[in-house]
């Protein structure tokens, strides 16, 4: 089937491959490899399969991933890997095109279960379990989340109490709310689990640590003391066998404690390379940031797939009268349709390019090239914020694309409803998005007050307030960014000026600085309050904290897009593509300004005349980008086997051609009925 679209009206001669290179970034080969794997029919779920059939097919897909060698890329060279973490994640994210269930189940197996062993374990433990984990011979669970403490990992109820007499840990679920919940591989396939529990030895609780706990026999029978509940049919990700795990005084050897950040000697003596319990806890969890990094990229893949399907359909589908009596108007020519899809297309480019910067940070830290406390904090902040915004954007985009495809978009065969259902839980996977944005907000406030670094939210306000006037912003680099706004926006009002990158950046950055400094100033009275009163004051400003974090992440993503655009312009070999990327940059920037227009007007950052000009400019940019929309989505690199949506191929175009030919022939016949409206028009003309 020929899927090459006819050139759109006013289209630019774009080369999608040039933009693909920009979008795929440093690990383009890994992304192509991932897309090839996603095209393999063996990685696809059976249409209309039962829950058991969907789970079995997903498990088989995990085997394909292991066979491909992708799961070995992050391993040290001594274990047959390449110590290439960014390459692994880049290829792994593309599995969404095969099935989000496969991407998540493979992520549980290789990223979480095997990743926890690799990053929290010692060399002996690597030798015992890691090869089996990355090869898929030992299917495992990542048993962290509990019914009663989802995102609050520090307060997990599960205990692991060491007994010196036996040299064993006793892993126990003391109450119902401590049951491990939503655990991938738990309901069906897991044979072992990395279990996070409160480590107790010699009467002292040393906080949350991880142990490898066998949970089933080789033939799948539960081991003594381990009980399971199947979460059953969920709203999405039906191929992932999520379930609950509870432990009734399950004994495991002392050697099963993953000891990178905490070890227990035979006599029960505890030791750790990190003295501070709080810092130890956050350092340990920081090694598991890969999950958030990969979910950010996976959400972008889902966003791109939906846009690819919807844009191709809009390019072919025609409806309602046009200037031609033989041909109706193409959906993509309607202004409202352009406004529905083009800003989201620009946003997808921003998220994809920003994700590359996140992957670069991830690679530097996890390869050991630049692994410091500060680089880890920057990575954790980026991963938390990027994942939150990209997963929300993916859901918004998939839903808009579904509606933009009308009833055809609601058909399961066209994947959009399935994508939405599968991506829905991404907003709460690896941390609820709102909680993650509070982490980002905390880091922003920390730039005002170093005392905030090790303070929990309950006591934070008193310490932030004491240093609110410092206004250093040394890590975010936002200090005094708003000072030039007056100079930038007072020039004559015209489209060229409002499309200035300097104007966009200044407005976006000033919003962040104003919000963060205002929040810090509001918390100043807490410096003289009791901890309880300070916590209450902080709670009253929680929404402002989250909104400031959102503004900050929006700025970071816009900057990534802006930098990519300038790199392409400076290269000088792709002027048409650089021009398209500039339009994408401008549309994304102006869409963000429009989204927060009330704030910019309320704070006097934009005069009314310039504010009105933003919407007019957005309309023009949407029209220009719509002319190249098919080429812009072709740059995502997906073909029919990745999309697997009939409406995105040539079926609609062929129907339109058939209808057009029918009417052309029919109207040439003498017996073609005359339209009543035409008769009335003729009669009116005669009389």
What is the DSSP track for 574-603? -HHHHHHHHHHHHHHHHHHHHHTHHHHHHT
Structure tokens at 319: 């409806």
Residue 571 located in a structural domain: no
d(CA 646, CA 415): 9
> Do residues 506 and 488 touch, judged by C-beta distance below 8 A?
yes
Residue 158 located in a structural domain: yes
Residue 89 — φ and ψ, nearest 5°? Answer: -65, -40
- Predicted confidence (pLDDT) at residue 7 exceeds the cutoff of 80: no
481 confidence band (pLDDT: 50, 70, 90): very low
Three-state secondary structure call for residue 683:
helix
pLDDT tens-digit readout, 310-336: 999 999 998 886 666 667 889 999 999
d(CA 388, CA 204): 36
Print the domain residue range for 179.
141-277
Task: Please give the DSSP secondary-structure letter assigned to residue 430.
Answer: T
User: Average of pLDDT values for 646-651?
Assistant: 91
> Do residues 345 and 307 touch, judged by C-beta distance below 8 A?
yes
Residue 464 located in a structural domain: no
Report the DSSP beta bridge partners of residue 557. Answer: none
Structure tokens at 247: 């432990």
d(CA 91, CA 79): 20
Residue 442 located in a structural domain: no
User: Average of pLDDT values for 31-48?
Assistant: 96
pLDDT tens-digit readout, 531-545: 888 889 889 999 999
Number of domains in the chain: 1
Residue 559 located in a structural domain: no
Residue 210 located in a structural domain: yes
442 confidence band (pLDDT: 50, 70, 90): confident
Residue 680 located in a structural domain: no
Which is more confidently placed, 527 or 533? 533
SS3 assignment for 109-126:
HHHHHHHHHHHHCCHHHH
Residue 260 located in a structural domain: yes
Which is more confidently placed, 480 or 654? 654
pLDDT tens-digit readout, 544-603: 999 999 999 999 999 999 999 999 999 999 999 999 999 999 999 999 999 999 999 998
CATH number at residue 215: 2.40.110.10
pLDDT tens-digit readout, 595-619: 999 999 998 888 888 888 999 999 9
Please state, as a whole number, how many other Cβ atoms lie within 10 Å of the Cβ of residue 70.
Answer: 24
């Amino acid at each position: 089937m020929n899927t090459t679209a006819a050139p759109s009206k006013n289209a630019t001669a774009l080369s999608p491959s040039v933009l693909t290179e920009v979008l795929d970034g440093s690990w383009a080969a890994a992304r192509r490899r991932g897309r090839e794997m996603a095209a393999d029919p063996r990685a696809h779920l059976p249409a209309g399969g039962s829950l058991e059939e969907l789970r079995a097919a997903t498990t088989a897909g995990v085997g394909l991933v292991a066979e491909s060698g992708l799961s070995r890329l992050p391993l040290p060279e001594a274990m047959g890997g390449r110590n290439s973490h960014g390459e692994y994640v880049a290829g792994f994210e593309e599995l969404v095109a095969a099935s989000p269930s496969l991407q998540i189940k493979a992520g549980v197996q290789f990223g979480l279960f095997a990743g926890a062993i690799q990053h929290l374990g010692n060399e002996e433990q690597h030798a015992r379990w890691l090869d089996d984990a990355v090869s898929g011979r030992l299917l495992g669970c990542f048993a962290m989340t509990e019914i009663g403490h989802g995102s609050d990992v520090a307060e997990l109820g599960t205990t692991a109490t060491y007994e010196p007499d036996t040299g064993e840990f006793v892993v126990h679920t003391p109450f119902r709310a401590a049951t491990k919940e939503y655990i991938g591989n738990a309901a069906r396939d897991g044979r072992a689990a990395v279990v996070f529990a409160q480590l107790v030895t010699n009467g002292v609780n040393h906080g949350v640590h991880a142990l490898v706990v066998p949970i089933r026999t080789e033939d799948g029978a539960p081991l003594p003391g381990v009980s399971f509940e199947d979460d059953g049919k969920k709203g999405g990700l039906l191929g992932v066998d999520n379930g609950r795990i509870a432990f009734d005084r399950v004994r495991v050897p002392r050697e099963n404690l993953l000891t990178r950040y905490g070890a227990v000697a035979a006599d029960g003596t505890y030791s750790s390379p990190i003295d501070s319990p709080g810092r130890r806890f956050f350092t340990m969890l920081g090694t598991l940031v890969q999950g958030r990094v990969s979910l950010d990229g996976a959400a972008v893949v889902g966003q791109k797939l939906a846009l690819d399907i919807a844009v191709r359909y809009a390019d072919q589908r025609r409806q309602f009268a046009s200037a031609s009596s033989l041909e109706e108007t193409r959906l993509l020519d309607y202004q409202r349709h352009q406004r529905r899809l083009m800003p989201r297309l620009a946003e997808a480019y921003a998220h994809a390019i920003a994700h590359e910067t996140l992957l670069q940070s991830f690679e530097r830290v996890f390869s050991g090239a630049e692994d410091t406390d500060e680089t880890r904090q920057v990575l954790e902040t980026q991963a938390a914020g990027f994942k939150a915004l990209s997963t929300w954007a993916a859901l918004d985009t998939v839903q808009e694309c579904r509606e933009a495809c009308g009833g055809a978009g609601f058909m399961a065969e066209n994947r959009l409803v399935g994508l939405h259902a599968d991506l829905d839980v991404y907003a709460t996977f690896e941390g609820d998005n709102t909680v993650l944005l509070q982490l980002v907000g905390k880091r922003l406030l920390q730039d005002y007050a170093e005392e905030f670094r090790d303070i929990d939210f309950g006591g934070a306000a008193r310490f932030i307030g004491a240093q609110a006037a410092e206004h250093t912003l040394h890590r975010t680099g936002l200090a005094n960014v708003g000072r030039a706004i007056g100079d930038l926006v007072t020039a004559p009002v015209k489209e060229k000026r409002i499309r200035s990158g300097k104007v966009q950046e200044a407005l976006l950055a000033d919003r962040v600085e104003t919000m963060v400094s205002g929040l810090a100033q509001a918390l100043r009275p807490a410096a003289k309050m009791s901890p309880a009163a300070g916590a209450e004051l902080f709670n009253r400003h929680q929404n402002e904290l989250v909104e400031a974090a959102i503004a900050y992440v929006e700025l970071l993503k816009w900057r990534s897009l802006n930098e990519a655009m300038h790199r392409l312009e400076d290269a000088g070999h792709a002027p048409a593509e650089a021009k398209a990327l500039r339009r994408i940059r401008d549309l994304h920037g102006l869409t963000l300004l429009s989204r927060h227009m009330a704030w910019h007007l309320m704070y006097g950052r934009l005069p009314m005349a310039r504010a009105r000009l933003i919407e007019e400019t957005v309309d023009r940019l949407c029209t220009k980008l719509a002319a190249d929309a098919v080429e812009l989505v072709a740059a995502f690199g997906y073909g029919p086997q990745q999309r697997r949506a009939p409406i995105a191929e040539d079926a609609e175009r062929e129907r339109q051609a058939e209808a057009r030919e029918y009417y052309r022939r029919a109207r040439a016949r003498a017996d073609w009925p005359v339209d009543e409206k035409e008769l009335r028009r003729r009669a009116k003309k005669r009389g």
